[in-house]
Amino acid sequence: MSVFNTRSGIIKGSVANRRSGSASRSGRRIGVGTAIAALLLSACGGATVNGATSAAPAAGSSTSAAVSGSSAPAAAACGTVNLAMNDWVGYTADAAVYTYIAENSLGCKVNQKALKEEIAWQGFPTGQIDVIMENWGHDDLIKKYITEQKVAQDAGYIGNVGQIGWYVPPWMATKYPDILDYKSLNKYADMFKTSESGGVGQFLDGDPSFVTNDEALVTNLKLNYKVVYAGSEAALIQSFRTAEANKTPLIGYFYAPQWFLSEVKLARVTLPAYTTGCDAVAAKIACDYPEDKLNKIIGTKFATSGSPAVSLIKKFNWTNDDQNTVAAYITADKMTPAAAAKKWVDANQVKVKAWLK
């Protein structure tokens, strides 16, 4: 998104419904209604806060030596950090590195809980969740838990800049260059028909809990397409990978930071330019997604606990390239999150030591 949401202590403005999305990534989402909540609770890894399962093995959890030059205090000095684990690999990369440093350099015990984004926020009032590493918008949840209930706080930007958009595989951009202009999409709609799209072109989204702007965009831009869900980030990635390898038509939603873009250089479709407020009314959205400076959210109980893990999360700040590097270790190189975190930490001692000061 090229227009950053402004923040003064907390995120302000709409990051339009989004990816893991969000409801205004995620950027991006709307409030969770009964039907959506039921879907989230039934999805893999989408447990309730009370019934959340710890990620095993913990992403980034390790018993190996502390970060060079820093000794690990007794565990009691840090205590337990309850870390929400949202289901996309970039988040896993964030969490892996934070967990590795917290456990090996600060003596913390990081308890990772696999939860959908919206559900994770429900743990702030009780302290069952202390940290959300990568927040994509959620204006409704910010209002409820930060502004009104004051049980959560903005812990600053994580450094990653999120960008959601519409993409096609490279082969299509080469063969049909005008397909990168949304005004030409109806011309190619028949090419994208599938058994699931009901006689119109298929537009592929990812996880159904990634509440995006795409259905509104299809309607308001008068496009002959239907949004169909791949089911997960992994399925969405595989769909684009297969479409490029087999030279089959595909158009869908994707986002950065995301390591897969270094493997398959997806081509972005130009939508009407984003302007401030163009996504204010979800049902009327007819503009592109904005750039989103992603931030960290922490529970107020955790923020006032005196744990050194609070300082670490506030200082944790890296780039899209950093995240993509760790995500690629995990996905492309098949490393465990802990091993990927250690590899990155060992290679980035200056940055890590600054977080620990």
Host domain of residue 337:
34-161+297-356
Q: How far apart are CA 171 and CA 178, in angstroms?
A: 13
Q: What is the CATH number of the domain that holds 337?
A: 3.40.190.10
Domain boundary among 242, 261, 284: 284
Helix (H, G, I), strand (E, B) or coil at 29: strand
Tens of pLDDT, residue by residue over 104-133, are 999 999 999 999 888 999 999 999 999 999
Last residue of a domain, one of 254, 284, 314: 284
Q: What is the DSSP string of 120-138?
A: HHTTTTTTS--EEEEE---
pLDDT digits (tens, 9 = 90+) for 207-258: 887 768 999 999 999 999 999 999 998 899 999 999 999 999 999 999 888 8
141, 183: one domain: no
Number of domains in the chain: 2
CA distance to 108, 141, 220, 278, 294, per residue, from 283 (Å): 45, 19, 8, 11, 24
23: left (phi over 0), alpha (psi -120 to 50) or beta: beta
Per-residue pLDDT reduced to its tens digit, 138-148: 888 999 999 99
Residue 243 and residue 251 in contact, taking contact as beta carbons nearer than 8 Å:
no
**91 and 149: one domain?**
yes
User: 284, 317, 336: which is the final residue of a domain?
Assistant: 284
- Has residue 290 been placed in a domain? no
The pLDDT score that the predictor gives to residue 306 is 93
Separation of alpha carbons 193 and 200, rounded Å: 6
Q: Tell me: do 324 and 262 sit in the same domain.
A: no
